[in-house]
Structure 1
Amino acid sequence: MPPTSAASPAAASGVAAEAARRRTFAVISHPDAGKSTLTEALALHARVIGEAGAVHGKSGRRAVISDWMEMEQARGISVTSAALQFEYQGHVVNLLDTPGHADFSEDTYRVLAAVDCAVMLLDAAKGLEPQTLKLFDVCRHRGVPVVTFVNKWDRPGMHVLDLVDELDQRIGLTATPLNWPVGEAGTFHGLLDRDDETMTTFERAPGGARIAEEQLLSAAEAKERYADAWGTALDEVSLLDTLDLETFHAGTSTPMLFGAAVVNVGVRQLLDALVELAPPPSARPDAEGTPRPVEAPFSGLVFKVQAGMDKAHRDRLAFVRVCSGRFERGAVVTHAATGRPFATKYARTMLGRERETIDIAFPGDIVGLVNANALTVGDTLYAEGSPVAFPPMPSFAPEHFVTARTTDTSKAKQFRRGIEQLAEEGVVQILTSNRRGDGAPILAAVGPLQFEVATARLGQEFGVPIALDSLPYGLARRTDADGVALLNAEAGVEVAERRDGALLALFPDKWRLASVQRRHPDVALEPLVAGAD
């Protein structure tokens, strides 16, 4: 049945009910805190997989499902986000694993535009690390509530109350623990459930490949068996605030849980908390700030575009967050950026790189549209007759710049096509400069690891060998057409155009920028906003 501009009451009620079952969240953290391991453990506890993989594929086990790129498996780090969908306790869970490395902050930021909640992973030994602090700020800016999971409690680490104090003093977030470790980090006996003062102990599976067996102890049994450690846990947790859903959803408090993802300890408790406490999809503001209810006709936001997931097909997948209404595979929707119709014949749901055809999806779901060559990051799709455009996806301010050229001149066409694809996916920003021409585009990135990804993908997916030449720039400012000639005449300054038409003036450092601004105070040189433009 073709979409209409207004859903019937019965259809709207059905959409609202399905949206209420959805929990869409991202796992975010500083590098090496254990995001991919936790993602794998969550899938294991939801019975999506029968055995947990390992980062690097250690001990003869397969790699984790969310790290599917060869570079990720070789380095043991996530360089791109991955989506997993599964059912758990009557809920549909859409889980997104994200890169932790600062060089891939843009990918994480885009994911946070597509979720309703985030799980912030803290390393028990390190607490709040630089990237953790940045991610908390992003969550606060986007209004994404945060659940905190303190990982690696089976190893020596910080004192538990010091971790709580860090959250309060450094980022103004009140911790409201749902459970509490019995025993200090490294001498972990089990978890105190704050609700009923029971204790769960764990019989860990070798290497964490399978779910750890649990034993539930009453308060009397826990006191008898663990005496001082149990009493200390009760005393510590009694000092802290209890869960407050209103402040959690407002982003001023964070439910806190503890565990060790690598041995599957505390993971079930986290998954239970997420389906119970994380907010379901709700009305999403459009570009004008007007909320679009989940019951409205279909709309979706493209937050990621990824090619190279399936070597056999060389296709390109657009990740779409369903924001409102009922998505139906095969329906023709409208591409807001062009006003043109877009067919949704090939729609998939994802589990890492694995895919299955999906016929129907609801608000909160992540749908992969195959061969979506017309779509780019930040695009909006909507049902015919019910137009909407969501706010554009920001681009981070680049700090590293290189020129790229193919070392095989016979591959010039493939080189141009590959560069264009990487730009559309947001792997790097592509700038063109009159000084260099189309054959030597400027690649601009937040961090140099992005250039490694671009080089690897051009070689693997397009068969194009490339050479990168560093440029002496370290910051960019937005300018306008009136300032181009003046800026290009300045030594050590170059103006280049981004794919979206923005003119960026590139400078070696802030001192050179200040010097140019003193001589040309009327030339537009606008900062790219606080990490995101």
Structure 2
Amino acid sequence: MRQRAAVSIESEVKRRRTFAIISHPDAGKTTLTEKLLLFAGAIQIAGSVKARKASRHATSDWMEIEKQRGISVASSVMQMEYRDQVINLLDTPGHQDFSEDTYRVLTAVDAALMVIDAANGVEPQTLRLIAVCRARNTPIITFVNKMDREVRDPLELMDEIESTLGIPCVPFAWPVGQGKLFHGIFDIRKNHMRVFTPGADRRREDDEVISGDNRDLLRSRFGAEFQQAEQEIDLVTTAAPSFDADEFLAGKQTPMFFGSAVNNFGVQEVLDALVDVAPHPGPRKAIEREVKPTEGKFSGVVFKIQANMDPSHRDRIAFVRVLSGRFEHGMKFKVLRTGKDFRPTSVVTFLSQRRDRVDEAYAGDIIGLTTHGGLQLGDSLSEGESLQFTGLPFFAPELFAAVELKDPMRSKQLQKGLMELGQEGAIQVFKPLLGSEMLLGAIGQLQFEVVQARLKGEYGVEVRLMPSRYSCARWVTSKNANDLRRFMDANVGRMVTDAAETHAFLATSRFDLDVMQKRWETIEFHPMREHAGLLLANQ
């Protein structure tokens, strides 16, 4: 029986593909997310990101502020089946002010799908996200979007991606024309051309496909655009390296696709590639040892917490990446941080706002645990031995604001709201060791606006955000406990704790911080808090 269970876990793990979609804002990431769901049969009609005249919003955008502005400010999780594979897709915030959420999501995936705007090429946010992927050797698939518009030359885009991001491209498909003369894409692997027709919300099952062996037909029908594409294909297949699965899995090579997500075009090729070449879940490092996904015991890590996804139930969902074994409904496991047992009452999987109860899940899956507390970002969960997984980043905020309550009678609601928003990572909430004024820390200004909107909409609390004299924060540790205690006592007026109750020091300027670092040589000032590392250092 145990041997059969092991075989089942191994076969189920091999069916899993878990990836995140990343891009600069407005490259078409959320639109592509919807179209992948459409082509996998998970939805029948795609919504559109709410623009000036659009009446619908993206299926992966659920916050009111997202619907109003047509942007994604929170990562979304969706699971679907395609070609007998289980695909876990995570749509991440494109806006740079929410990059911290994206970085944490990237710790929970095995691959990334990078969306490039064909008119703009590689943009700043793309560079930052790719740096995170490369630091983790995350395999990347590239989709060049908006080929139905007047865009840059595909060879120029390919060269920019390779030179700027430092990743050799291997074209799996190539565009035939662009803008008004965009005729379709040539699938290099399958040697056929898919002919472009614009529009349509439904799956493009009736697309015309012409064999690449009919070159004379293709030349006569698509004229100069096909002849140019033909020359470019010969050039890139000769000059570009051949696809090497090991290089791709090491993050040193990226398959390249072209299309138009809003027109459902080029999406099929990307979806097939995710199944064909993207990795299934691999081993993960814990402090104690390396954990294989096919092990019999369940383990996982909380990489995201989201409050009030369903306003009518005031719920709180902990998103858990399953790292090993098999999760079963009713299972009890240990939370390493507290040492306490935890048995979730409700466990769900997602298709954006829609939820389905989870009866079982395997390594690679993303499950949501409904909780009213007891779990925090970065928590390691284990059915058996104590395993502490690392790597969940928290970055030092660059902007600060003090919170002023408009109605003093709502102070309890404010405390609850800030506690929950801080624990989910929507913003960093600092509590001073002296005094009661809460301080908010953010990467970008839009985070403050979202928190204000959520406090009002979800907790019934209106606040004003006041300027702060602080401009940077650093988490502090020391190998010498006495030195750390002396430092905290000497600077108690500028010491705070964050949502994980980790100590941080607030500085008024970079110069102020430099002075402190020189004065207190035995104190380490950390610009990033990795959940496990600093908590253990503080113990």
Q: Aligned equivalents of 2:53 and 2:203: distance in 1?
A: 14
The count of residues paired between Structure 1 and Structure 2 equals 518
Could you tell me which residue of structure 2 aligns to residue 3 of structure 1? none
Instruction: Confirm or deny that 1:412 pairs with 2:419.
Output: no
The letter for the 1-side match of 2:507 is F
Q: Aligned equivalents of 1:422 and 1:428: distance in 2?
A: 6
Q: Aligned equivalents of 1:8 and 1:531: distance in 2?
A: 36
Compute the displacement of 1:342 (Å).
0.8
With normalisation by structure 1, the TM-score equals 0.92
Compute the displacement of 1:324 (Å).
0.9
Structure 1 segments unaligned to the other structure (5+ residues): 1-6
Compute the displacement of 1:410 (Å).
1.4
The letter for the 1-side match of 2:218 is A
Q: Aligned equivalents of 2:178 and 2:529: distance in 1?
A: 38
- The question of whether the paired residues in 2 share the 8 Å contact of 1:482 and 1:523 is answered with no
Q: Aligned equivalents of 1:144 and 1:325: distance in 2?
A: 22
Instruction: Confirm or deny that 1:27 pairs with 2:21.
Output: yes
Compute the displacement of 1:392 (Å).
5.2
Q: Aligned equivalents of 2:313 and 2:529: distance in 1?
A: 39
1:153 corresponds to which of 116, 140, 147: 147
- The question of whether the paired residues in 2 share the 8 Å contact of 1:286 and 1:292 is answered with no
Cα 1:473–1:41, aligned 2, differ >3 Å: closer, same or farther? same
Compute the displacement of 1:149 (Å).
0.4
With normalisation by structure 2, the TM-score equals 0.91
- The question of whether the paired residues in 1 share the 8 Å contact of 2:143 and 2:258 is answered with yes
1:142 corresponds to which of 121, 127, 136: 136
Q: Aligned equivalents of 1:229 and 1:305: distance in 2?
A: 49
- The question of whether the paired residues in 1 share the 8 Å contact of 2:73 and 2:95 is answered with yes
Q: Give CA deviations for 1:289-326 in whole Å, capped at 9, x if unaligned.
A: 52334333111111111111112211111111111111
Could you tell me which residue of structure 2 aligns to residue 350 of structure 1? 350
SS at match of 2:363: coil
1:97 corresponds to which of 81, 91, 98: 91
Q: Aligned equivalents of 2:357 and 2:52: distance in 1?
A: 31
- The question of whether the paired residues in 2 share the 8 Å contact of 1:198 and 1:218 is answered with yes
Percent identity of paired positions between Structure 1 and Structure 2: 42
1:471 corresponds to which of 446, 468, 472: 468
Could you tell me which residue of structure 2 aligns to residue 363 of structure 1? 363
Two-structure CA RMSD over aligned residues (Å): 2.2
Q: Aligned equivalents of 1:488 and 1:16: distance in 2?
A: 53
- The question of whether the paired residues in 2 share the 8 Å contact of 1:24 and 1:117 is answered with yes
Q: Aligned equivalents of 1:96 and 1:120: distance in 2?
A: 12
Compute the displacement of 1:186 (Å).
5.2
Q: Give CA deviations for 1:222-248 in whole Å, capped at 9, x if unaligned.
A: 222123322322222333223211110
- The question of whether the paired residues in 2 share the 8 Å contact of 1:182 and 1:191 is answered with yes
SS at match of 2:402: strand
Cα 1:237–1:367, aligned 2, differ >3 Å: closer, same or farther? same
Q: Aligned equivalents of 1:56 and 1:74: distance in 2?
A: 7
SS at match of 2:87: strand
SS at match of 1:391: coil
- The question of whether the paired residues in 2 share the 8 Å contact of 1:46 and 1:87 is answered with yes
Could you tell me which residue of structure 2 aligns to residue 503 of structure 1? 503
Could you tell me which residue of structure 2 aligns to residue 216 of structure 1? 209
Compute the displacement of 1:59 (Å).
5.2
The letter for the 2-side match of 1:228 is A
- The question of whether the paired residues in 2 share the 8 Å contact of 1:203 and 1:212 is answered with no
Instruction: Confirm or deny that 1:85 pairs with 2:79.
Output: yes
The more displaced of 412-421 and 232-241 is: 232-241
SS at match of 2:393: coil
Could you tell me which residue of structure 1 aligns to residue 278 of structure 2? 278
Instruction: For 1:153-192, list aligned pairs within 5 A.
Output: 153-184=147-178, 187-192=181-186
Could you tell me which residue of structure 2 aligns to residue 482 of structure 1? 486
- The question of whether the paired residues in 2 share the 8 Å contact of 1:83 and 1:95 is answered with yes
Instruction: For 1:227-246, list aligned pairs within 5 A.
Output: 227-238=223-234, 239=236, 240-246=240-246
Structure 2 segments unaligned to the other structure (5+ residues): 477-483, 535-539
SS at match of 1:173: coil
The letter for the 1-side match of 2:282 is S
- The question of whether the paired residues in 2 share the 8 Å contact of 1:321 and 1:365 is answered with yes
Compute the displacement of 1:145 (Å).
0.6
Could you tell me which residue of structure 2 aligns to residue 123 of structure 1? 117
Q: Give CA deviations for 1:485-517 in whole Å, capped at 9, x if unaligned.
A: 55568xxxx332323343333233323434555
